[in-house]
């Protein structure tokens, strides 16, 4: 059985894609077989893993979502043997409108993932910055949710909406969905506000917060432009070490 993890936060630029790519890569290095689904029309997980968004134009995640091809037909290999990706590009933008009339549009992703059951240890879904159609599909398909929170003043703003969406999805479409954990990202040791935000989040959300904190690290922001996860770009960097630690925390099973 594979575990399906959705990485979501409707706030933009909080580290969803960085976490999706680097958690996937760290789990792959730990000998787990991983499929990363790029569920965002920005295609950042796709290009960040060195896959040309134009090459993905022929058949990509969008074509699997509309039922034109099976999902396994669009899966691409990456530089890491255990890590594969379902690539996306701007094709996904139209999907929500195309599906407006469809009755069971929220369970589409869950349905197309079914034939892959047993092939991967983890399927990780990188969501777009919205609580719309794609994120709801991901929440319906997932066993567990990771919410990256940037260590800044407005970190928790909007978290209530996300948790409310989770509640609705749980009540109506996916009773198995668990809040796997809140992940603090882009932590800057020298910034007193970051320390205060961290304390605040831990106080409010307690054991729902991963022990691992992802530091602000320039290697993490550079590696996508080389089409590599940070573990292959600079394995000794603090960013690479932090995502390895997160993978270990998840594999110990304490959170998810
Ligand atoms: P979007 O909502 O647009 O999909 P996102 O939540 O996926 O954004 P990312 O793309 O992962 O966020 O990160 C936003 C920017 O911050 C990127 O340029 C990324 O390289 C950078 N970044 C993310 N995490 C870190 C970090 N820990 N240290 C330094 N830079 C980071
Ligand atoms: Mg992203």
Query: pLDDT digit string (tens) for 65-118?
Result: 999 999 999 999 999 999 999 999 999 998 988 888 888 899 999 999 999 999
Residue nearest atom 5 in ligand 1 by C-alpha distance: 13
User: Would residue 256 count as lying in a domain?
Assistant: no
Ligand 2 mean position to 15 CA, how many Å? 7
Ligand 2 mean position to 13 CA, how many Å? 7
Local structure of 181: helix, strand or coil:
strand
> Are the C-beta atoms of residues 164 and 26 closer than 8 Å to each other?
no
Nearest alpha carbon to residue 219 among 41, 11, 25: 25
> Are the C-beta atoms of residues 209 and 196 closer than 8 Å to each other?
no
In which domain, by residue range, is 73 found? 3-251
d(CA 108, CA 80): 28
User: Would residue 90 count as lying in a domain?
Assistant: yes
Report in angstroms the alpha-carbon separations of 118 from 1, 33, 70, 71, 214.
Answer: 5, 10, 16, 14, 30
Helix (H) or strand (E) holding 150: strand 144-150
CATH number for 109: 3.40.50.300
Pocket residues: Cβ below 6 A from ligand 1: 12-18, 40, 42, 44, 129, 185-186, 214, 216-217, 220-221, 239
> Are the C-beta atoms of residues 62 and 87 closer than 8 Å to each other?
no
| Closest ligand relative to 214 C-alpha | 1
Query: pLDDT digit string (tens) for 12-34?
Result: 999 999 999 999 999 999 999 99
Its pTM stands at 0.97
Query: pLDDT digit string (tens) for 186-208?
Result: 999 999 999 999 999 999 998 99
**Which ligand 1 atom is at minimum distance from the Cα of 127?**
4
User: Would residue 215 count as lying in a domain?
Assistant: yes
**Which ligand 1 atom is at minimum distance from the Cα of 222?**
20
**How many domains are contained in the chain?**
1
């Amino acid at each position: 059985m594979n575990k399906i993890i959705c990485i979501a936060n409707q706030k933009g630029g909080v580290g969803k894609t960085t976490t999706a790519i680097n958690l996937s890569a760290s789990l792959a290095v730990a000998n787990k077989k991983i499929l990363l689904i790029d569920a965002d029309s920005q295609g950042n997980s796709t290009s960040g893993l060195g896959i040309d968004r134009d090459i993905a134009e022929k058949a990509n995640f969008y074509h699997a979502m509309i039922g034109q091809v099976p999902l396994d037909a669009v899966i691409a290999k990456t530089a890491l043997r255990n890590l594969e990706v379902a690539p996306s590009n701007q094709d996904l933008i139209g999907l929500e409108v195309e599906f407006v009339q469809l009755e069971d549009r929220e369970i589409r992703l869950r349905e197309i993932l079914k034939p892959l059951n047993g092939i991967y240890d983890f399927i990780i879904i990188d969501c777009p910055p919205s609580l719309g159609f794609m994120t709801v599909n991901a929440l319906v398909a997932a066993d567990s949710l990771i919410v990256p929170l940037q260590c800044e003043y407005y970190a928790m703003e909007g978290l209530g909406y996300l948790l409310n969406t989770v509640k609705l999805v749980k009540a109506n479409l996916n009773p198995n969905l668990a809040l796997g954990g809140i992940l603090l990202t882009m932590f800057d040791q020298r910034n007193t506000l970051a320390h205060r935000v961290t304390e605040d989040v831990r106080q409010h959300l307690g054991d729902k917060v991963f022990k691992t904190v992802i530091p602000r690290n320039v290697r993490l922001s550079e590696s996508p432009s080389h089409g590599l996860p940070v573990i292959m770009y600079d394995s000794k960097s603090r960013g690479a070490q932090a995502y390895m630690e997160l993978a270990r925390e998840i594999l110990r099973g304490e959170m998810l």
